[in-house]
Amino acid sequence: MATGFEQVELNYVPPQNFYMVISLMPTVQYNIQQVQIPAITGGETDLANRMNPTKTFIPGHSLDYGTLDVTFLIDKGFATYREILKWLKAINHPDTHETYSDWVKNPAASQTLLSDFANTMSTINLYATDSAMTPVAEWVFHNAFPTSVDGPQFDSTATEVDYMQASVSFRYSHFEHAIYSETGQRSPVLI
């Protein structure tokens, strides 16, 4: 008996293949250990109705994006950690005026941005890959900047070798999402 129902392909994304690239740091790739794609919350507005004592809501006019929290491996030269630390210090409370000035004049900063202040932010690309490290999905975070980074943790009592990690939190204006086909074609971006 035909039901008209077709079985959906059951092919899933492995949750452990991620890496991150930050436009301001083109020579550093971040090997991600943990990341939760941020929640998006849609706004809501009360619909005034004197005939109905309960509240009625309609869709709002804005989206709220959660923070991007990422745990990454620290490389042997500490470049992944140091680059985030330099960025955070330069844009918040630089040791000298030159620290901030040097950062915003960074040649890796986007040339499409109009002011030095805009160079305190960057585009972050987060890729999910298959087992062959071929991208299957991408999230693009716009106007991102770090708000915190934790330092590496040393533990001489550990019985197994665990590679050092650090966690960083970013704020950003919005993100886009795209997927890749089996042939490597990038889908239209979903904003």
* DSSP class per residue in 140-161: EEEEEEEEEEPPP---TT-SS-
- State the pLDDT at residue 145: 96
Give me the CATH number covering residue 85. 2.30.110
- State the pLDDT at residue 111: 46
Q: What's the mean pLDDT when you consider all of the chain?
A: 82
Q: Flag whether 44 is in a domain.
A: yes
Q: Flag whether 28 is in a domain.
A: yes
**Mean pLDDT to the nearest integer, 38-61:** 79
Helix 79-92 to helix 97-104 angle, to the nearest 10 degrees? Answer: 110
Q: Flag whether 13 is in a domain.
A: no
Q: What distance in Å separates the CA atoms of residue 61 and residue 56, rounded to the nearest whole number?
A: 16
Q: Flag whether 141 is in a domain.
A: yes
pLDDT band, very low/low/confident/very high, at 156 (cuts 50, 70, 90): confident
Q: Flag whether 61 is in a domain.
A: yes
Residue pair 130/17 in contact by the 8 Å Cβ criterion: yes
Q: Flag whether 11 is in a domain.
A: no
Q: Burial level of 26, CB count in 10 A (0-12/13-18/19+)? A: exposed
Q: Flag whether 190 is in a domain.
A: no
Which of 79-83, 134-138, 182-186 tops mean pLDDT?
Answer: 79-83
pTM: 0.80
Q: What distance in Å separates the CA atoms of residue 142 and residue 176, rounded to the nearest whole number?
A: 8
Structural domain total, the chain: 1
Domain limits for position 99: 18-179
Q: Flag whether 159 is in a domain.
A: yes
